[in-house]
């Protein structure tokens, strides 16, 4: 487990370092049209939030996902040896999880896309206010920019809340499928009590 975690983290660190270097090189060598069509805040978001997701979030999720995948494969093999009829329950649970995943992936991707769109103006507004603070104070335009900044921040928070709501819905439905699978296994175990060969039971243990 420790070796797998170190390998995965090393792969992600190497990948994100190369990606960051390529991004810097592309941005530095970009034409002026690129900076006219892409706000500074959007570029900041790519270098801050997106890279931090690759550096911090994905390695832990990958370690957890690989552990769950190997454990699931082991459980399915054991169930197939003990009671082959349980493979029907496994197939049904897998089908339901694929349906849930297909239903949730679209809104999750869209919320992430909208979050990157709304997060860019926040960085741009903050940079503009800091650079022109003296002028804004002289013309008493700080309340206007404060209201605009709060409006942009509220839009970004709404998108983030939507993302977490979809994520929680997906987690609850996955847990419901897992509960159904556990109840099915328990029911088959009670039904097969005294009918399973002791050698097979010793193998499963």
Query: Sign of the CA dihedral 178, 180, 183, 187?
Result: negative
Position with higher pLDDT, 128 vs 111? 111
Q: pLDDT band at residue 192, thresholds of 50, 70 and 90?
A: low
Is residue 166 within 8 Å of 108, Cβ to Cβ?
A: yes
Tell me what pLDDT residue 205 has: 52
Query: Sign of the CA dihedral 91, 183, 168, 4?
Result: negative
Tell me what pLDDT residue 172 has: 92
Q: What does the alpha-carbon distance between residue 93 and residue 178 come to, in Å, rounded to a whole number?
A: 8
Mean pLDDT of 109-135: 78
Does residue 201 carry a pLDDT above 60?
no
Is residue 170 within 8 Å of 101, Cβ to Cβ?
A: yes
Contacts of 87 (CB under 8 A, 6+ apart): 76, 79, 80
pTM of the model: 0.62
Average predicted confidence (pLDDT) for the chain: 81
Tell me what pLDDT residue 95 has: 92
Residues in the chain: 205
Query: What is the separation, in whole angstroms, between the first and last Cα of the chain?
Result: 22
């Amino acid at each position: 487990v420790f070796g797998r975690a170190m390998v995965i983290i090393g792969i992600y660190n190497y990948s994100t370092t190369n990606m960051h270097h390529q991004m810097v090189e592309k941005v530095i060598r970009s034409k002026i049209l690129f900076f006219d069509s892409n706000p500074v805040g959007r570029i900041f978001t790519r270098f801050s939030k997106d890279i931090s997701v690759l550096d911090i979030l994905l390695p832990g999720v990958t370690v957890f996902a690989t552990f769950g995948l190997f454990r699931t494969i082991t459980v399915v093999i054991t169930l197939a040896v003990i009671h082959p009829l349980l493979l029907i329950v496994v197939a049904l649970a897998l089908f339901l999880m694929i349906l849930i995943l297909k239903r949730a992936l679209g809104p999750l991707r869209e919320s992430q896309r909208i979050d990157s769109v709304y997060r860019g103006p926040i960085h741009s507004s903050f940079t503009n206010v800091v650079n022109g603070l003296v002028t804004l104070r002289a013309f008493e335009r700080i309340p206007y920019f404060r209201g605009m900044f709060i409006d942009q921040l509220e839009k970004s928070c709404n998108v983030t809340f939507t993302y977490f709501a979809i994520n929680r819905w997906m987690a609850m439905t996955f847990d419901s499928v897992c509960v159904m699978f556990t109840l099915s296994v328990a029911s088959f175990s009670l039904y097969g009590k005294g009918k399973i060969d002791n050698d097979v039971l010793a193998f499963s243990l």
